[in-house]
A and B are shown apart, each in its own frame.
Chain A
């Protein structure tokens, strides 16, 4: 097979499927000496694919699926001495040049371990959780193509996944949990590893230490799916409705490519987008619904509060009066306060104003008990942790904290809830931050606005709907 010059050693050869199978790689992502690399090519164990193709006058990057003309550019390439295209869309993951192919493993698929009893989780599921979990196990065993799990905020969806993952591991399947945010990947990794103590688990995100992606169970940001092809027997897409999966066409493209031919795709969401709801109603997308939170209490229903002077107040960096009076007479003043604002700038500007007022009103004991956080904040992880540990009393945030985070006892306010960043899904998610623990299963959610929007009405209606489906009439 190798012209009598055996490639690396036999033992190493056995490892190759684990290293390369299911991936779509650039040459520089393949950690082999050129000599060994050429042998694999010659033996057709690795095959080449064109990296940028042209069809009907439209170019497409074969790694990320990009077709937008403005996200291609040309470069006078020093390697091939020609001027040719490269893809700008996925450049953060290593540049795809027209003159360099992508490589794909063409040898045997790896034999993943069939774990007899992979689960080391000793928790228990509620009746509603168990129902959804059973449905997922069924889908995995029947190799159903897709299943959407619609579970309200705070229903404990990570735990609901454990029986399905256990089942897949028993059958020697390879699994990926893809989620939009690196924060969530970092948070999930220890939880998953603890629940499956003897299974190799790797976390992949931009800047992660683990880069090889050789584990049977992978937790990754959705962007990392771009590196895979025909890889996963069970692909779980968390927060299918969230930015950027919802906004970026290259991510569904990558997810569909990353799954194996005979595989199951599970979507998780608390707030399905219209396209999914339509497919559910047409009975084209099988789904399972979890309408009750794990602690059995209904979802807090947001209250709208009209503030005529809202835009002017925010422009002058003043706290709206109705907002202040609400803060002062909350039902339970020991709860922490989470304040959502539409822009980073506003979060930054309001910090000083609110800290001063809150200190005077004795809502906080010192000015540094109120901070703000946003996506580009270098201390974001630390601030969120401080808030979680209750070292902070008030946190002003942009939509980055709308989902995926749990604080045990908070009241939630949105300033300018009518702003376009707060769409229906965002509002439902934000409302879902309140009342998440069994010790304090309620919480107030107030939308401060200067004109109702369709999104606000729909969000409140859909929360009420879920409570009704959950048996709270």
Chain B
């Protein structure tokens, strides 16, 4: 018997000829909960994954005009932010219900396979780190959990100094903030940064900028949610 990881209801599978002979993988969520996730499909900004009719959204055009140097090539996200996924993320990372991460496993793997197929084998996955203080408080890093789902080499070579939570800052404060990251070792390979949410992209750009300064030729971002 399976229980939905989110609403704890028993999941009842419709039996078809297909799954009678080929049992499906256990599903983490029941159908009602799956339907509440807002998966990004259709037109999106090629740079930041925001829903957008035009190829590049106005924010990205603006950003590129003022950018002094290149940071991330692009960000790819799977879900749009809505109250449902917000509740899951809150319980997962702030309350610390570690197992909720499993909800995203198959989405994360499949989308990565479909989207980043062009990467060479030597690309490295780097999860956005938490500061030591935050890590002690939460017990785990949600970005690392997401990175573990991916079938490529992961290196935790970034560290982060303790500061205020990004989610507590205003947009202006975020865009203006100092780079909180440090690098433990040099790396001369393409990188995919992994994090749970892309909001203004500042965190990811800070990390990417540091990586590029230290030899990474290209840096991509792969995030669960486009905020």
A, B from the same assembly = yes
Q: How far is the CB of A293 from chain B (nearest CB, A)?
A: 39
Contacting residues, chain A, for B98 (C-beta < 8 A): 73-76, 86
Contacts A70-B3, A91-B91 given; indicate if A79 touches B99 (C-beta within 8 A). Answer: no
Give the docked Cα–Cα distance between A86 and B100 (Å).
13
On whether the beta carbons of B139 and A91 are closer than 8 Å, the reply is: no
Asked if A274 is at the interface (CB within 8 A of a chain B CB), the reply is: no
Asked if B227 is at the interface (CB within 8 A of a chain A CB), the reply is: no
Contacting residues, chain B, for A74 (C-beta < 8 A): 98-99
Which positions 44-102 of chain B face chain A at CB distance < 8 Å? 91, 95-99
Asked if A315 is at the interface (CB within 8 A of a chain B CB), the reply is: no
Asked if A449 is at the interface (CB within 8 A of a chain B CB), the reply is: no
On whether the beta carbons of A78 and B140 are closer than 8 Å, the reply is: yes
Which positions 61-105 of chain A face chain B at CB distance < 8 Å? 70-71, 73-79, 86, 88, 91-92, 95, 97
Contact of B96 among A70, A76, A86 (CB under 8 A): A86
Which positions 362-404 of chain A face chain B at CB distance < 8 Å? none
Give the docked Cα–Cα distance between A97 and B135 (Å).
15
Q: How far is the CB of A219 from chain B (nearest CB, A)?
A: 25
Asked if B15 is at the interface (CB within 8 A of a chain A CB), the reply is: no
Q: Give 7 A-B contacts (CB < 8 Å), ordered by A residue.
A: A73-B97, A76-B98, A76-B140, A88-B97, A91-B91, A95-B96, A95-B139
On whether the beta carbons of B136 and A78 are closer than 8 Å, the reply is: yes
Contacting residues, chain B, for A76 (C-beta < 8 A): 98, 140
Give the docked Cα–Cα distance between A73 and B140 (Å).
14
On whether the beta carbons of B3 and A78 are closer than 8 Å, the reply is: no
Q: How far is the CB of B104 from chain A (nearest CB, A)?
A: 15
On whether the beta carbons of B95 and A95 are closer than 8 Å, the reply is: yes
Interface of A is mostly: mixed
Interface set of B (CB-CB < 8 Å, partner A): 3, 8, 91, 95-99, 135-136, 138-141
Contact of B135 among A78, A88, A91, A92 (CB under 8 A): A78
Contacting residues, chain B, for A79 (C-beta < 8 A): 136, 139
Give the docked Cα–Cα distance between A74 and B96 (Å).
11
Give the docked Cα–Cα distance between A207 and B136 (Å).
24
Give the docked Cα–Cα distance between A28 and B96 (Å).
14
In chain B, what residue has the closest Cβ to A92?
A: B95
Give the docked Cα–Cα distance between A88 and B140 (Å).
15
Contacting residues, chain B, for A91 (C-beta < 8 A): 91, 95-97
Contacting residues, chain A, for B138 (C-beta < 8 A): 78
Q: A78-B136, A78-B141 are in contact. List 19 more A-B contacts (CB 8 A).
A: A73-B99, A75-B96, A75-B99, A76-B98, A76-B140, A77-B140, A78-B138, A78-B139, A78-B140, A79-B136, A88-B97, A88-B99, A91-B91, A91-B95, A91-B96, A91-B97, A92-B91, A92-B95, A95-B95
Q: How far is the CB of B186 from chain A (nearest CB, A)?
A: 26
Contacting residues, chain B, for A95 (C-beta < 8 A): 95-97, 139
Contacting residues, chain B, for A86 (C-beta < 8 A): 96, 98
- In this complex, which of A71, A79, A97 has the most chain B Cβ atoms within 10 angstroms of its Cβ? A79
Contacts A70-B3, A70-B8 given; indicate if A75 touches B140 (C-beta within 8 A). Answer: yes
In chain A, what residue has the closest Cβ to B102?
A: A73
On whether the beta carbons of A97 and B97 are closer than 8 Å, the reply is: no
Give the docked Cα–Cα distance between A409 and B135 (Å).
55
On whether the beta carbons of B139 and A97 are closer than 8 Å, the reply is: yes
Give the docked Cα–Cα distance between A95 and B95 (Å).
7
Give the docked Cα–Cα distance between A86 and B99 (Å).
10
Q: How far is the CB of A348 from chain B (nearest CB, A)?
A: 15
On whether the beta carbons of B3 and A77 are closer than 8 Å, the reply is: no
- In this complex, which of A73, A79, A88, A92 has the most chain B Cβ atoms within 10 angstroms of its Cβ? A88
Pairs A-B, 9 closest by C-beta atoms: A73-B99, A75-B98, A95-B96, A70-B3, A91-B95, A78-B135, A77-B139, A78-B139, A91-B97
Q: How far is the CB of B133 from chain A (nearest CB, A)?
A: 11
Give the docked Cα–Cα distance between A459 and B110 (Å).
53
In chain A, what residue has the closest Cβ to B83?
A: A376
Q: How far is the CB of A26 from chain B (nearest CB, A)?
A: 12
In chain B, what residue has the closest Cβ to A99?
A: B139
Contacting residues, chain B, for A88 (C-beta < 8 A): 97, 99
Give the docked Cα–Cα distance between A469 and B177 (Å).
71
Give the docked Cα–Cα distance between A77 and B141 (Å).
10
Q: How far is the CB of B1 from chain A (nearest CB, A)?
A: 9
Contacting residues, chain B, for A92 (C-beta < 8 A): 91, 95
Q: How far is the CB of B77 from chain A (nearest CB, A)?
A: 26
In chain A, what residue has the closest Cβ to B137?
A: A28
On whether the beta carbons of B139 and A75 are closer than 8 Å, the reply is: yes
Give the docked Cα–Cα distance between A318 and B192 (Å).
54
Give the docked Cα–Cα distance between A92 and B96 (Å).
9
Q: How far is the CB of B137 from chain A (nearest CB, A)?
A: 8
Contacting residues, chain B, for A73 (C-beta < 8 A): 97-99
Q: How far is the CB of B203 from chain A (nearest CB, A)?
A: 20
Q: How far is the CB of B129 from chain A (nearest CB, A)?
A: 12
Give the docked Cα–Cα distance between A342 and B60 (Å).
47
- In this complex, which of A71, A78, A91, A97 has the most chain B Cβ atoms within 10 angstroms of its Cβ? A78
Q: How far is the CB of A234 from chain B (nearest CB, A)?
A: 33
- In this complex, which of B3, B99, B136, B141 has the most chain A Cβ atoms within 10 angstroms of its Cβ? B99
Give the docked Cα–Cα distance between A329 and B172 (Å).
60
- In this complex, which of B91, B96, B139, B141 has the most chain A Cβ atoms within 10 angstroms of its Cβ? B139
Give the docked Cα–Cα distance between A86 and B141 (Å).
16
Give the docked Cα–Cα distance between A70 and B7 (Å).
12
In chain A, what residue has the closest Cβ to B132?
A: A78
Contacting residues, chain A, for B135 (C-beta < 8 A): 78
Q: How far is the CB of A389 from chain B (nearest CB, A)?
A: 29
Contacting residues, chain B, for A75 (C-beta < 8 A): 96, 98-99, 139-140
Give the docked Cα–Cα distance between A74 and B99 (Å).
7
Contacting residues, chain A, for B3 (C-beta < 8 A): 70
Give the docked Cα–Cα distance between A76 and B99 (Å).
10
In chain B, what residue has the closest Cβ to A94?
A: B95
Give the docked Cα–Cα distance between A86 and B96 (Å).
9
Q: How far is the CB of B55 from chain A (nearest CB, A)?
A: 36
